[in-house]
A and B are shown apart, each in its own frame.
Chain A
Amino acid sequence: MGYAGTNKGGTSAILAAEELLRSNREAADEISVDAVLTAFPAIIDRIMGEGGLWHERTAAAAFIQAGGDTAEAVHLLRAHRSTLPRLTFSLPIEPDDMALCRRVVPAHRSPDGPQLLGETVDYSPRIIRRGVGDPLGGDDSDLVVDDDQIGPAKYPDRPVQRYTRFLAAQGLLVDRRDESDPEPYDLALNPITLPAPRSARLSAMSLAETGALVNLWYRGVIGPDGHTDESVTLGEVRYGRLGVRVTHPHTGNPVQVGEIRATECESMAHLDERGEDASRFDAGYGFAMGHNERKAIAMANMDLAAQRYASGPAGWQTEQVIMHTTDGLAANGFLEHLKLPHYVTFQSMIDRALAARAEDGKTSQRELAEDAAEQPAQDAAEQPAEDATKKEVLA
C-alpha cells in the first residue's frame, strides 16, 4: 500500500512499516541495555540531557528502539516523561559539591585545585584504529615526563574555587545576581513567555538540542548576524557526580534519593564595548545533564551573550532564539511534519499559480492607462522641453 494509504485508514500500511523495521533489525544480534550503557555512554548522556529525564536504562532502551537516531530517542524519552507523575521537587543542587571526574580551567595556568584531564578524547589523534595499539607507534619515553604528582596530598578533598570566584575576589567580575528570579522557571510545566527570566533561558538551553546550541554560538561568531564572538575564555569546564536530595515527606529532613552526572561550564568575556564597564568581565553559565561538554560550553556562551545585551534589541533577539528555536523536539518534529500529506493546501496554491498564468501576458488596466499617458511624452521627446511640459500639465 502506498503513501496515500496512510491518509485513509492505512492501519495495515503503518503496521507493515513497523514490521519492516523490526525484521531488518532481527538480522542483528540482540543488543542489551547494559551493552549500550557500556559502549555508548556519550549518546545516552546526550539523550537524557535533551530528553530532560535522568534514567540511564530508559534512555538506553529508547536509543535501541530508535535505531541509534538521537532525535527519535529524545522524543521517546520526552513522551515517556509525560507519563510520569511529579511526586516532589528536588532541593537545589550545590554545584560546588560535585565529585569531579574532569576539570579544565583554560583561563589560568595553575588554578586553585587540579586541572584534571579525566576521560576525554580531546588529545587523542582522530585516526581510525584497526585493532589495539597506538596508531602513532607508541614509545613516548622520550616525550617530556610530567613530574607533577597529583594525589590527595596535593589536592585535599574540598570544593575547589571556581575561576569566576577568583575573578570576583579581585573585583574584576560584574555582579549578575537577580533577586527577582528566585525560583527556577519550569519549562516542563509552563509555556514560554518573553521576556523570560534568566532561569527560563538556562532551563531552555539545558534541554536544547546540542547541535542547535553549538550552531547558534558558531553562527554568532562567524556568520553575518548573532551576538557571540571569539573573545570568550572558559573559566571552568567540569564534569562529575552530584547527589540529588528531596525533603522527606514524613521527617521533613533532606534525604538523598539518587545521583546524576553533569557537565558545567563558566565562560567569561571582557566588557569592552561602548557603554560597558571595561574594568570588568561578565560570566555566563552552562549546565548539561550527563557528560556533554559541547552543550555546556555553547550554553555558557549563549547565556553570556543574552545577559550582556539583555537591555537592547540584540539581547531580545538572542532571547527569542534561545527560547523558541533550540528545542530539538520542536524543530525536528516540525521539519518532519512536511512529510505529512499537504495536497489540500498545495492544491490551493496551484489554483493561484494557474490563475496567475492565465493573467500572464494580458495587459493590465494600469499599464494601458500608463501607455496612454506616456504616448504624448514620448512624442514630445523630440520637441523642446517647454512644449512637452505644457502637454503633461494639461494632461
Chain B
Amino acid sequence: MKILTGNDLKTGDVIWWTGSDWSRHIEDAVDVGENFEALLHQEEAARRVNTPYAIDATATEDGPRPAHIKDRVRALGPTVRPDLTLKPADPEAGNWII
C-alpha cells in the first residue's frame, strides 16, 4: 500500500493522511493508491503539512507498517527514548520498528 506522511507545518509533528485529514497516529493512515500527486500539492498548498511524501507500507492487523526504517522510527518516536514516543506506557510498542 501507499500512504502519505509529512510534518505538521506549525508544530513539526509527524502526521499521516487519513483520507480526509492528518493524524499523528500511523494506525489512521489509509492507502492512497497511485494517484496521490494532486493530493500532495493540495495539502502542501493548504499549509497543513510540510513537505508531504508518499511511502510504501505493508498493511497489518495493527495498522500500516512503513517499508523504510526511517519512516518506522518516525511513526513512533526515538527508539532510545520510549518515554517520549507516542505510546510511552507500552513497552512492547516499538518491537516492530527495527
> Do A and B interact with each other, yes or no?
no
Binding site for A on B (CB under 8 A): none
